[in-house]
Structure 1
Amino acid sequence: MRINKLLSNYGYCSRVETNRFINDKRVIINGELAIPGQWVEETDTILLDGVPIKRKEKVYIVLNKPVGITCTAAKDVKDNIIDYINYPEYIFPVGRLDKESQGLIIMTNDGELADKILNSENRHEKEYIVTVDKTIDDNFINGMSEGVKLGEKITKSCKVNKIDNNIFRIILTEGLNKQIRKMAKTFGYTVIRLERIRIINIKIDDIDIGKWRNITEDELNELKENIK
């Protein structure tokens, strides 16, 4: 595999950050300075800051992200999620939830698990509660469910049901940039509150906004079964 994937899988950094480490001459492979995207074997001698790398203990956290926090591992971005959670070990968000939205984010240092969750071909469910600026009608519910044309792409069919006059639940199996906001806008609605409450089997029922907890062993086992 490439050095970027190896360091991510081992829990040291993101694939993008690996390039920064390499450009700063912090990574040595078999006695030579690494180059971006270099292919490696787990049997190679790989040093980071002069210390041999090894698999770190895996961390799995579920955070109820508040509005105003940006889901990025880039520390130079203001109000980034890494600084917000301030975890003592390197972890990163699995996917994104836009800055204006709140709710469930999985944080981990397990690159392999993250890749499987984010693989849209597996049609993993993500559930949201959404408030819009006016009363929802059947045309909106049916149209959102059947798929919406966004530019050159038509969104996959999804489950949508009305909760209140201007609140609906939506379950997606893909994750386009600001997808729900763009879908609603197509029908003339503006999203004024968006909360993600579930990713596959992981829920935020018992987590206050801005707080986090470790994913339980039972939850993790079920999650891994679902993403095989």
Structure 2
Amino acid sequence: MPTVYSLLPPDLPQKFHTVGRLDAKTTGLLLITDDVGLVTYGTSGAVEKIYRATAMGALNATQFDTLREGVDLKGGLGNSDPCDVKMIKSERHNTVLEITLMQGKNRQIRRMLHEIGSGVLKLERTEIGGFRIDDLDLGEGDIKAVDEVELDLMIGYKANVKTR
């Protein structure tokens, strides 16, 4: 199975790491860096991540409240933190949600929806901090380099830049 690393140019000299992760069935925005400090910062709960999820079934108010308040994620992961959940569209067989998380536990949104009796039909990370996938004009597999100023502006991260 191909990974995001297979999309990087082969001649890059550094070792790169993802800031967080996306499972094989999730699409969307992913930050890749050679700055270990950024990896730590981005996964510490300091950066907001927004997802668009298509959930199975028409969700009711109780299910929305449960998602917002936090659920037991099972598997020793504890509870999800309270989060913002907005309904984008509801139809008979599915509900499109926007879910904003500060934490990022393994398969968190999939586990949250499972705990309220639903499931995920489609999941996309649309934002990380101020980086919005719709504003970046990127296609699937495209890469955009960002500098320290942009990282500070978009996610509040100040790189440890060495000066002479």
TM range (shorter): 0.7 to 0.9
Structure 1 residue matching 2:30: 3-state secondary structure: strand
Following superposition, the deviation at residue 217 of structure 1 comes to 5.7
Structure 1 residue matching 2:29: 3-state secondary structure: strand
The number of aligned residues is: 148
Question: Which residue identity is paired with 2:44?
Answer: N
The percentage of aligned residue pairs carrying the same residue is 29
Q: Is the 8 A contact 1:198 1:204 kept in 2?
A: yes
**Quick one: which of 28, 44, 47 aligns to 1:119?**
44
**Quick one: which of 99, 105, 122 aligns to 1:193?**
122
Q: Please report the RMSD computed on the Cα atoms of aligned residues, expressed in angstroms.
A: 1.8
| Distance (Å, rounded) in 2 between the aligned partners of 1:216 and 1:189 | 40
Structure 1 residue matching 2:51: 3-state secondary structure: strand
Question: Which residue identity is paired with 1:126?
Answer: K
Partner of 2:162: none
Q: Is the 8 A contact 1:202 1:219 kept in 2?
A: no
Higher relative contact order structure (alpha carbons within 8 Å, sequence separation ≥ 6): 2
| Distance (Å, rounded) in 2 between the aligned partners of 1:189 and 1:209 | 28
Q: Gapped runs of 5+ residues in structure 1?
A: 1-77
**Quick one: which of 78, 81, 101 aligns to 1:156?**
81
Partner of 2:11: 88
List, as ranges, runs of 4+ consecutive aligned residues in structure 1 with deviation greater than 4 Å.
none
Question: Which residue identity is paired with 1:213?
Answer: K
Following superposition, the deviation at residue 100 of structure 1 comes to 0.4
Q: Gapped runs of 5+ residues in structure 2?
A: 159-164
| Distance (Å, rounded) in 2 between the aligned partners of 1:215 and 1:149 | 36
Partner of 1:213: 144
Matching of residues 1-228 of structure 1 within 5 Å = 78-89=1-12, 90=14, 91-120=16-45, 122=46, 124-151=47-74, 152=76, 153-165=78-90, 166-205=95-134, 206-215=137-146, 218-223=149-154, 226-227=156-157
TM-score by length of 1: 0.60
Following superposition, the deviation at residue 105 of structure 1 comes to 0.3
Q: Is the 8 A contact 1:201 1:219 kept in 2?
A: no
